[in-house]
Amino acid sequence: MNKYMFCILILTLFFLTGCWDRQELNEISITLALGIDKVEDEFLVSAQVVVPSELTMNRGTGSSAVTLYQEKGETIFEAFRKMTKESPRKIYPGHLQILVISEELAQEGIAESLEFLSRDPDLRPDFYVVIAKDVAASEILNITTTLENIPANKMFDSLEMSEKVWAGTRSINLDELITDLISEGKEAVVTGIQLIGNPQKGSNKQNVESIKPAATIQYDDLAVFKRDKLIGWLTEQETIGFSYIKNKVTTSVRPIDCPSDGKATIDIIRSKSNVKGAIKNGEPEVDINVKVEGNVGSVECEIDLEKLETINELEEIFEKELEETIEKTIEASQKKYETDICGFGQAIHRSNPKEWHKIQKNWDEKFPDLTVNINVDFKILHTGSINNSFLEKIND
């Protein structure tokens, strides 16, 4: 064996010796969801922990697949470690999927909560962060869910799917959120989650044994932040407008007014947006360009889809209504909350770094009066397998 091969062998053996800080599975409680509330002057931390025996087909007893541990502390770290008073194993967040922060705590500021989590070496920063709206984070984690017997999985998958097929939510992980909180010219937004129904009945197993559960959890609109504090909420339409501005619409549906009475629904299959900043006549300005392609999904009015002018009319109506939706988002950002959630300051910085440095310190004062130009270009690709709706004949 030559010297080179000997060195390779020694290095291989070294890396196969295992990790010095490894943790055995029978010594840890795998946590998939965390909730953080503020109770008086203490943090209440809730951990949704997997019950391994209930995930095996042969040994399961039919009980819940997760359990909830809770503890209070002057710091989140203290509360986290104090859970071992009840849990027989160390709470391990290395597979965390979702972090729920209460609205009350978010109004006070979330930086302290995120600082602990970003520092923990066991945590991967790819879990999603959401805000519990009008309810404690602990109550969200205490609700049993259908389809998924692990609620954390349901919350994670629902947020990803909703973002993919509906423009009213946004999945934001820890890294993205911290970046938004510390960036110049961009403020943070976080998707809200709420509890619908009876929270007492929702924690029981019977909740998922009914066709219609007594309590469910579902995602809501976007929470608006100023620095690290929650200052308000976007409406559903404002949230949709935000998604278009930020180029986060993959597919979606959008009802529009028909040229006459009634509605048509557009099945959006592609969307592309860009935001460009500029300095014009010494003042900052932003252009938003949105290109959308879609199909006619449904028609609930009397129109002739065989005519080109009808298609043109529908395209113009879509463009006008989407522009109005985006305008509402910008108005809420500029006038209602005075916080640059769309990152217009970053767009100015990209286009003209020198001028941005001149106005950066006064951006909060300049932003509410910023000129924003919106242009939407929409094309209908297909009208469906039939030209005109059979509803027209039924109405006749």
Distance between CA atoms of residues 158 and 162, nearest Å: 6
Say what the pLDDT of residue 368 is: 97
Beta carbons within 8 Å of 19's beta carbon, 6+ residues apart: none
C-alpha angle 352-353-359 in degrees, rounded to nearest 5: 95
Q: Collapsing DSSP states into helix, strand and coil, what is residue 116? A: helix
CA torsion, ordered 9, 10, 16, 18, to nearest 10 deg: 180
What's the alpha-carbon Rg for the chain, to the nearest Å?
26
Residues of the chain where predicted confidence (pLDDT) is lower than 50: 1, 3-21, 390-391
CATH of 237-395, one of 2.60.40.10, 3.40.50.300, 3.30.300.210, 3.30.390.10: 3.30.300.210
C-alpha angle 158-159-164 in degrees, rounded to nearest 5: 95
Say what the pLDDT of residue 51 is: 84
Q: What is the pTM of this model?
A: 0.87
C-alpha angle 181-238-138 in degrees, rounded to nearest 5: 60
Say what the pLDDT of residue 219 is: 94
CA torsion, ordered 275, 279, 281, 282, to nearest 10 deg: 140
Tokens of 350: 């990209």
Distance between CA atoms of residues 126 and 364, nearest Å: 31
Say what the pLDDT of residue 392 is: 55
Say what the pLDDT of residue 350 is: 95
Q: Specify the DSSP element, H or E, that contains 212.
A: none
Say what the pLDDT of residue 19 is: 47
Give one DSSP letter per residue of 71-103, joined into a string: EEESSHHHHHHHGGGT-SSEEE-TT--EEEEEH
Contact 108, 38 (CB under 8 A): yes
Say what the pLDDT of residue 16 is: 46
Say what the pLDDT of residue 45 is: 96
Say what the pLDDT of residue 24 is: 55
Tokens of 352: 């003209």
Say what the pLDDT of residue 18 is: 47
C-alpha angle 328-333-335 in degrees, rounded to nearest 5: 85
Q: How far is CA 157 from CA 62, 113, 128, 219, 289, in A?
A: 23, 24, 11, 12, 31
Q: What is the bridge-based pairing of β-strands 98-102 and 128-132?
A: parallel
Specify the domain boundaries for CATH 3.30.300.210 within the chain.
237-395
Q: Could you read off the pLDDT of 6-48 as tens digits, one per residue?
A: 334 333 433 444 443 455 555 677 899 999 999 999 999 999 9
Tokens of 312: 């043109």
